[in-house]
Structure 1
Amino acid sequence: MVRPHFSSFRRRFAARQPVVGSFIKTPTTHATEIFGALGYDFVVIDEEHAPIDRAMTDVMLLAARASNLAGIVRVSSDDPAKILSCLDCGATGVLVPHVATVEKARAVAAAARYRGGRRGYSGSSRAGAYGGTPVWSLVDEQDASVCAIAMIEDPEALDHIDAIAAVDGIHGFFIGRGDLTVALGAKSSADASVKDAVIRIIAAAKKVAKPVCVMVAGAAEAKEFADLGASAFIISSDQGQMRRAAAQTLTDFKTLVKTTDGSHVSQL
């Protein structure tokens, strides 16, 4: 099957069609190209927890677009200038951390759109085809395709989750189970308090027919969340998948390679 064009990501996400992606934490274009070649739907370029600056984000987004991948950027803050920078570079959307209040959700939505929002206009960036897109065509195209995803990862957000979910211009939610686990003092993300938070977030999203994205270790865990109502899945990261594959390869190698006397190699 031919993968849909990356610009259709928001439409597919909003329709709660299953989409799969991965975090990109290594400041290089190569991992993004690999995920694109494999057929992933999107990548999340991680400016919050990885050493990725604006210049690197710019070329990683170029790689995403060239690979027909939706390039989402997890911004390091909700600063409107940061969101604008990523969108001008051609991001399909932004993943904004710690959206714990209605006011912050509204500010994020405003920063990510022109009409009814406060996104600063420039037609000279990649998003505007370097001056090739007429003003109002660019406004309409961007407002129809840019995806603003709020990360719900603070206990305070749970107190206002229905109101946050209802904010116009927030197109979906990512459940930050790691931060919720730490903030709630839980032993792991499998604890009842975290599970209850997940259920409350998904329920709020369902009320307003908005999609939910979660990070999962693999297909089995994704199935569990799909049964709850999630439809978008971030499978680990480029680093996580490389580490897992490298560890398994090394284990296999130690098991299969033997010394001349028949004993297993203990050190390599």
Structure 2
Amino acid sequence: MAAPVNTFKRRLLAGDTLIGCWLALADGYAAELMGTAGFDWLVIDGEHAPNDLRSIREQLTALATSDSEPVVRLPVGETWMVKQALDAGAQTLLIPMVDSAEQAAELVRACRYPPNGVRGVGAGLGRATRFSQVTDYIQTADAEICLLLQVESVKGIAALDDILATDGVDGVFIGPADLSTDMGFAGNAEAPEVQETIRDALAKIAAADKAPGILAVTDTPTQRYIDQGARFVAVGTDVGILAGNARRLLQKWKPGA
């Protein structure tokens, strides 16, 4: 039995535009609920949400029967974190704050078994192999791992061409909030200089035959980024959906609250 087919990766390679949402509530029940909405992909956020390996595993399990593909964002690109997430059953990883081709190459190797990488051979203990039921996992897993790197700094933008030249990187995700802050605009991603940088980056990523991705939580930038070629686009967050709708509901029945 081979490793499960990574439908998210196959659809990106086919050129589809995939619409996703962020999961930051760090809860399996909430993830299962979001999985019924019909998003193409859902990010289990380990960087800014209160997740650990156990809660990430819980959410992967909750999404196992969903048509929404889980994407695990690790807090940082450490080889041991990559190993644990993959063994827990993640097949698509999103790694923040990648600033160089050297980082990119290290992350590719972390996702692959020897001799092409450094991933430890122990997935038989975990969900990735269905607890040793997937007998050909080691021989087939590498091809089904999707590696997405976040470029979200001035240094990362300067190194973008070299990052894109790294074999094994499937997509590059631009982080507008971090990038705009690093550029001196304190989170204002709509600043013209920031928008020009994002537009150029999305074009470069597409030209390198990698998938361009981005997060936007309001309609105008979302449509703009799609028009500029972004192909995996997160259009909201579970926290924002819950908080925003809760506040609107209260205002409806208790104006001025």
TM-score by length of 2: 0.91
* Equivalent pairs, count: 251
Aligned to 1:229: 229
- For 1:183 and 1:139, the matched residues in 2 are separated by 40
Is 1:205 aligned to 2:205, yes or no? yes
Secondary structure of residue in 2 paired with 1:130: coil
- For 2:83 and 2:189, the matched residues in 1 are separated by 33
- For 1:16 and 1:218, the matched residues in 2 are separated by 24
Secondary structure of residue in 2 paired with 1:37: coil
- For 1:138 and 1:48, the matched residues in 2 are separated by 28
The Cα of 1:77 is off from its aligned counterpart by 1.1
- For 1:219 and 1:133, the matched residues in 2 are separated by 42
Aligned to 2:28: 29
- For 2:253 and 2:146, the matched residues in 1 are separated by 44
The structure with the largest alpha-carbon Rg is: 1
Amino acid aligned to 1:7: N
Aligned to 1:261: none
- For 1:253 and 1:233, the matched residues in 2 are separated by 34
Aligned to 2:163: 164
- For 2:155 and 2:254, the matched residues in 1 are separated by 48
Is 1:190 aligned to 2:172, yes or no? no
- For 1:25 and 1:37, the matched residues in 2 are separated by 16
Bigger drift between 189-198 and 175-184 goes to 189-198
Asked if the contact 1:9–1:92 (Cα under 8 Å) also holds between the matched residues in 2, the reply is no
Is 1:238 aligned to 2:238, yes or no? yes
Secondary structure of residue in 1 paired with 2:163: helix
Asked if the contact 1:6–1:68 (Cα under 8 Å) also holds between the matched residues in 2, the reply is no
Bigger drift between 232-241 and 217-226 goes to 217-226
Change (3 A) 1:28 1:14: same
**Structure 1 unaligned regions, length at least 5:** 256-265
Aligned to 1:151: 150
- For 1:49 and 1:152, the matched residues in 2 are separated by 16
Structure 1 ranges of 4+ moved more than 4 A: none
Amino acid aligned to 1:155: V
Aligned to 1:173: 172
- For 1:251 and 1:198, the matched residues in 2 are separated by 36
The Cα of 1:165 is off from its aligned counterpart by 1.0
Is 1:59 aligned to 2:58, yes or no? yes
Amino acid aligned to 2:252: D
Amino acid aligned to 1:120: G
Amino acid aligned to 2:197: A
- For 1:167 and 1:226, the matched residues in 2 are separated by 24
Secondary structure of residue in 2 paired with 1:65: coil
Secondary structure of residue in 2 paired with 1:204: helix
Asked if the contact 1:158–1:200 (Cα under 8 Å) also holds between the matched residues in 2, the reply is no
The Cα of 1:140 is off from its aligned counterpart by 4.1
Asked if the contact 1:44–1:73 (Cα under 8 Å) also holds between the matched residues in 2, the reply is yes
Asked if the contact 2:173–2:212 (Cα under 8 Å) also holds between the matched residues in 1, the reply is yes
- For 2:91 and 2:248, the matched residues in 1 are separated by 34
- For 1:231 and 1:42, the matched residues in 2 are separated by 12
Is 1:132 aligned to 2:127, yes or no? no
1:109-162: CA deviations, max 9, x gaps?
11112262222122221111101122xx21343222211100000101121211
- For 1:19 and 1:208, the matched residues in 2 are separated by 19
Asked if the contact 1:6–1:69 (Cα under 8 Å) also holds between the matched residues in 2, the reply is no
TM-score by length of 1: 0.88
Aligned to 2:100: 101
The Cα of 1:91 is off from its aligned counterpart by 1.0
**Structure 2 unaligned regions, length at least 5:** none
Change (3 A) 1:194 1:220: closer
State the superposition RMSD in angstroms: 1.8
